[in-house]
Copies of this chain bind each other. A is one copy, B any other.
Amino acid sequence: MRIALLGGTGDIGQALALRWARDTSHEILVGSRDPERARGKADEYETELASVGVEREVKGFGNEMAADRADVVVLAVPAYHVRDTLASVADRIADADVLVSPAVGMDRDEDGFHYQPPKAGSVTRLVADAAPDGVPVVGAFHNLSADRLANLDVDLDLDTLVVGDDGDAVETVVQLAEGIEGLRALPAGGIANAPEVESMTPLLINLAMENEGMHDVGVQFE
């Protein structure tokens, strides 16, 4: 498949790009508002992959162009950019198989991080509401440490949770996720269940802050 990572120059975009490029044969398109920046980062990812013995082409494009060419579009941008980024590519993704939402709304106070969903109830729901008709939306990859994924020396052995209302789209994302070595994808129900999935992200950050040696903590369900 051809996967566009919009905001693919950011932390989680980089992490997914490197893992998918190393572990699968999917074509990886790194998107950015600035096409030059996307191409620069794509070159960096190629160099990083070569350093672990993987010769793979990673392409960089403006977000619109990346979205236009992709089967799967991942909105790998911070929560406060999701709406704008989606609007900027909406007329390019009508024929995408699936739109993937990994972003989480959070705020921080002196106690730690707290789940702060948009008015729609979750970022996944916000994306589903704003997506073009007929493009199924799936929430996934929220609860993964970008630093841990981006370090290709680290074995993952982690779970990620997947929510969506379209069974085929959920299955596509489960397969994509499980293409990454050491990653298991678990369906957690429909988009109505996204708040509980998204709110694990501030929980993981709080655990990282409160516990020695849990800097890049992830989760396994047993």
Q: Contact check: which of B113, B158, B189, B200 meets A222 at CB < 8 Å?
A: B158
Q: Contact check: which of B113, B115, B189, B196 meets A209 at CB < 8 Å?
A: B189
A94 nearest CB across to chain B (Å): 27
Interface mask (A197-218 → B, CB under 8 Å = 1, otherwise 0): 1011011101101110010011
Q: Find residues 78-137 in chain A having any chain B CB closer than 8 Å to their own CB.
A: 109, 111-115
How many chain copies?
2
Taking a contact as CB atoms under 8 Å apart, the answer to whether A204 and B192 are in contact is: no
Q: Contact check: which of B112, B192, B211, B222 meets A186 at CB < 8 Å?
A: B211
Interface mask (A165-201 → B, CB under 8 Å = 1, otherwise 0): 0000000000000000000001111101101110110
A-B CB proximity, top 3 nearest = A111-B192, A196-B203, A111-B190
**Can you name 22 A-B pairs with beta carbons within 8 Å?**
A109-B192, A111-B192, A112-B189, A112-B190, A113-B196, A114-B193, A115-B195, A115-B196, A186-B210, A186-B211, A186-B214, A187-B211, A188-B210, A193-B203, A193-B206, A199-B199, A200-B200, A207-B221, A217-B222, A219-B219, A220-B220, A220-B222
Interface of A with B (CB < 8 Å)?
A: 109, 111-115, 157-158, 161, 186-190, 192-193, 195-197, 199-200, 202-204, 206-207, 209-211, 214, 217-222
